[in-house]
């Protein structure tokens, strides 16, 4: 069950009649971000998942885990699946997209670094309750993502992260196709498409503002 009755919804607040499923996320999909964390630029997408229980709405104050070190912001374009996608090509992937939104891939960075050093999975650093705050969605139909969309995050009025979807090492439709050869994507599942450079720690009381081109903006506060 998702946290506190979270439901997928459009930006006007009206509900989307899809279940809330898993989120498949891609690490290091922007070269500059891979470099800032001292990671090699991968030849193949680095995939991991967050469960439905990690999802919360952006409209409620966000509660960060305590006593586990820095929680980093990673602003990302989120894709909401409307159709099942299994071993699909990029063109099929395109028509399976229901909407686009903004997400924060919250990360316990120090814990993640320890887990990486020990060769362990990242889940504890990435999949905790509240680790995936999500905005409302805009309909995929109305949007051409062929044109590059700016993905940006301001914290307390200061620009921290910005990039655009044209910088993705694997672009959206190809990424969905690739994922669908690893995991079946179900209606109501999400794909997080990676974060541009500029990640950093969040603090209590921070005010966040995120943008996806001129398509969508969202705000959040840290409790
Ligand atoms: Zn991420």
Q: For the segment 74-124, what is each residue's pLDDT rounded down to a tens digit? A: 999 999 999 999 999 999 999 999 999 999 999 999 999 999 999 999 999
Q: Is the pLDDT of residue 195 over 80?
A: yes
- For tokens 């399976």, the residue is 96
Asked if residue 53 is part of any domain, the answer here is yes
Asked if residue 99 is part of any domain, the answer here is yes
Asked if residue 144 is part of any domain, the answer here is yes
Averaged pLDDT score across all residues of the chain: 94
Q: Is the pLDDT of residue 145 over 90?
A: no
Q: Distance between CA atoms of 171 and 100, rounded to whole angstroms?
A: 14
Q: Report how far ligand 1's centroid is from the alpha carbon of 38 (Å).
A: 15
Give the residue-averaged pLDDT of 168-182. Answer: 96
The count of domains in the chain is: 1
Range of the domain at 85: 23-221
Asked if residue 7 is part of any domain, the answer here is no
Cross-strand pairs, 56? 133
Q: Distance between CA atoms of 168 and 170, rounded to whole angstroms?
A: 5
Q: Distance between CA atoms of 69 and 60, rounded to whole angstroms?
A: 23
Q: What percent of the chain has pLDDT over 90?
A: 87
- Given pLDDT bands bounded at 50, 70 and 90, which one contains residue 5? confident
Q: Report how far ligand 1's centroid is from the alpha carbon of 73 (Å).
A: 9
Q: Report how far ligand 1's centroid is from the alpha carbon of 165 (Å).
A: 14
Q: Report how far ligand 1's centroid is from the alpha carbon of 14 (Å).
A: 27
Q: Report how far ligand 1's centroid is from the alpha carbon of 144 (Å).
A: 23
Give the residue-averaged pLDDT of 125-148. Answer: 90
Per-residue model confidence (pLDDT) at position 173: 95
Give the number of residues written for the chain.
223
119 contact partners, CB below 8 Å, separation of at least 6: none
Per-residue model confidence (pLDDT) at position 22: 98
Residue 217 vs residue 33, higher pLDDT? 217
Q: Report how far ligand 1's centroid is from the alpha carbon of 195 (Å).
A: 5
Q: Report how far ligand 1's centroid is from the alpha carbon of 140 (Å).
A: 21
- DSSP code for 84: -
Asked if residue 6 is part of any domain, the answer here is no
Per-residue model confidence (pLDDT) at position 4: 58
Asked if residue 211 is part of any domain, the answer here is yes
Q: Distance between CA atoms of 14 and 207, rounded to whole angstroms?
A: 25
Per-residue model confidence (pLDDT) at position 217: 97
Q: Report how far ligand 1's centroid is from the alpha carbon of 168 (Å).
A: 12
The torsion angle over the Cα atoms of residues 84, 89, 95 and 96, rounded to 10 degrees, is: 20
Asked if residue 146 is part of any domain, the answer here is yes
This prediction has a pTM of 0.95
Asked if residue 13 is part of any domain, the answer here is no
Q: Report how far ligand 1's centroid is from the alpha carbon of 194 (Å).
A: 5
CATH number, residue 165: 3.90.850.10
Q: Report how far ligand 1's centroid is from the alpha carbon of 86 (Å).
A: 23
The CB-based long-range contact list for 89-94 (8 Å cut-off, 24+ gap) reads 89/177, 90/173, 90/174, 90/176, 90/177, 91/173, 92/177, 93/172, 93/173, 93/174, 93/176, 93/177, 93/180, 94/173, 94/176
Q: Report how far ligand 1's centroid is from the alpha carbon of 55 (Å).
A: 14
Per-residue model confidence (pLDDT) at position 89: 97
Give the residue-averaged pLDDT of 7-34. Answer: 95
Per-residue model confidence (pLDDT) at position 127: 98
Per-residue model confidence (pLDDT) at position 92: 96
Q: Report how far ligand 1's centroid is from the alpha carbon of 199 (Å).
A: 9
């Amino acid at each position: 069950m998702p946290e506190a009755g979270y439901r997928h919804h459009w930006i006007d607040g009206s509900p989307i009649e899809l279940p809330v499923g898993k989120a498949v996320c891609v690490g290091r999909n922007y070269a500059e971000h891979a470099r800032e964390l001292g990671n090699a630029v991968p030849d193949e997408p680095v995939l991991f998942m967050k469960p439905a229980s990690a999802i919360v709405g952006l409209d409620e104050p966000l509660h960060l885990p305590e006593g586990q070190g820095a929680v980093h912001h990673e602003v990302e374009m989120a894709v909401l699946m409307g159709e099942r996608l299994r071993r699909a090509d990029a063109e099929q992937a395109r028509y399976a997209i229901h909407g686009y939104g903004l997400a924060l891939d919250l990360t316990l960075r120090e814990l993640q670094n320890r887990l990486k050093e020990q060769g362990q999975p990242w889940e504890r650093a990435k999949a905790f309750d509240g680790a995936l705050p999500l905005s409302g969605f805009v309909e995929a139909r109305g949007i051409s993502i062929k044109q590059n969309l700016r993905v940006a995050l301001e914290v307390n009025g200061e620009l921290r992260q910005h990039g655009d979807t044209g910088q993705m090492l694997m672009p959206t439709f190809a990424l969905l196709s690739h994922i669908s050869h690893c995991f079946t994507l179900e209606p109501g599942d999400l794909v997080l498409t990676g974060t541009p450079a500029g990640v950093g720690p969040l603090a209590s009381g921070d005010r966040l503002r995120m943008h996806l081109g001129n398509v969508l903006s969202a705000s959040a506060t840290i409790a």
